[in-house]
A = this chain, B = another copy of it.
């Protein structure tokens, strides 16, 4: 059977004190079966994004340990930074990578939320795919007013009732836990230095202006080359090859071509396999046919 893999990408409200960051990362990586892939501190935002993976139970436990350590070491009354935030462990999304569904990740988010609420006495809000009502889906809405504003409203405004935990904020603030698809940062370079073509193509391809639903896109000039810079927010619904083919068509409309593309950071293997199947017109292909799918931890 395919190994089950969940990614977790928690954002902690500390991007300056290296000892605090190290302690949080250590709490995560000490959990057996959890593997830290990346740690990105940002001093201006005073915030650190950690990425780690593992089986559902290991990732849930590691996220709990990270949240507990952050709550112990970060005082939100003393926190300042440019990025909006409501808590020491601010946002904790779970991402299905392999052998797990979005529903599995929603279940992980809910179990963790209950535990953070009861064991750590921290108010928890579930968001995106784990949201318990539509207004809770959008992270920006849940985070409105930030730590200071939520502290005033919680316990008084019924719309701010947490999903788990107390109806009051301690110095660790609140934690927003959820489930979402993996993000792919995909950039396409055009055979032109004309950024206006890139901007027009970006407008055609992005969901917000009527293009492909799960594409965010901007036209940029990067080192003198015109680039369509994209975030693919749900590659199962808007696959990489549909974005690529739409850009190729639109570029031809403006008399230019695609010079090359790049992926920034990590990409789930399935996104690239889907692309191969599409261009090879490979019908009836089963994931079992990938030789490596038969390999377990042996």
Asked whether A53 is an interface residue with its Cβ less than 8 Å from the other chain, the reply is: yes
CB A110 to nearest CB in B, in angstroms, measures 24
In angstroms, Cα B240 to Cα A285, docked, is 15
Asked whether A46 is an interface residue with its Cβ less than 8 Å from the other chain, the reply is: no
Please name 7 further chain A to chain B contacts, defined as beta carbons within 8 Å, in addition to the given A33-B298, A260-B281, A276-B279, sorted by A numbering. Answer: A35-B296, A37-B294, A97-B292, A263-B282, A269-B269, A269-B292, A273-B276
Interface CB pairs A-B, < 8 A, 17: A32-B298, A33-B298, A35-B294, A37-B291, A244-B279, A260-B282, A261-B280, A261-B282, A261-B283, A262-B284, A263-B285, A266-B291, A268-B291, A272-B272, A272-B277, A273-B276, A275-B279
Asked whether A108 is an interface residue with its Cβ less than 8 Å from the other chain, the reply is: no
Q: Which residues of chain B are near A285, meaning CB under 8 Å? A: 262-263
Q: Is A261 in contact with B276, judged by CB distance below 8 angstroms?
A: no
Asked whether A208 is an interface residue with its Cβ less than 8 Å from the other chain, the reply is: no
Q: Which residues of chain B are near A182, meaning CB under 8 Å? A: 291
CB nearest neighbor in B for A267 = B289
Q: Which residues of chain B are near A294, meaning CB under 8 Å? A: 35, 37, 53, 266
Q: Which residues of chain B are near A107, meaning CB under 8 Å? A: none
Q: Which residues of chain B are near A276, meaning CB under 8 Å? A: 240, 272-273, 275-276, 279
CB nearest neighbor in B for A257 = B281
CB nearest neighbor in B for A268 = B291
Q: Is A241 in contact with B291, judged by CB distance below 8 angstroms?
A: no
Asked whether A265 is an interface residue with its Cβ less than 8 Å from the other chain, the reply is: yes
Q: Is A275 in contact with B265, judged by CB distance below 8 angstroms?
A: no
Q: Which residues of chain B are near A261, meaning CB under 8 Å? A: 280-283
Q: Which residues of chain B are near A54, meaning CB under 8 Å? A: 298
Q: Is A269 in contact with B291, judged by CB distance below 8 angstroms?
A: yes
Asked whether A132 is an interface residue with its Cβ less than 8 Å from the other chain, the reply is: no
Asked whether A154 is an interface residue with its Cβ less than 8 Å from the other chain, the reply is: no
Q: Which residues of chain B are near A281, meaning CB under 8 Å? A: 258-261
Please, what's the 1-or-0 string for A169-186, where 1 marks a CB less than 8 Å from any CB in chain B? 000000000000010000
Q: Which residues of chain B are near A269, meaning CB under 8 Å? A: 269, 273, 290-292
Considering the complex, which residues of chain A in the window 43-62 have a beta carbon less than 8 Å from any beta carbon of chain B? 53-54, 58
Considering the complex, which residues of chain A in the window 240-272 have a beta carbon less than 8 Å from any beta carbon of chain B? 240-241, 244, 258-263, 265-269, 272
Asked whether A295 is an interface residue with its Cβ less than 8 Å from the other chain, the reply is: yes
Asked whether A101 is an interface residue with its Cβ less than 8 Å from the other chain, the reply is: no
Q: Which residues of chain B are near A279, meaning CB under 8 Å? A: 241, 244, 275-276, 279
Asked whether A231 is an interface residue with its Cβ less than 8 Å from the other chain, the reply is: no
In angstroms, Cα B290 to Cα A275, docked, is 14
In angstroms, Cα B290 to Cα A182, docked, is 12
Q: Which residues of chain B are near A272, meaning CB under 8 Å? A: 272-273, 276-277, 290
- From known contacts A241-B279, A272-B273, A280-B244, infer whether A266 and B290 are also in contact, taking CB-CB under 8 Å: yes
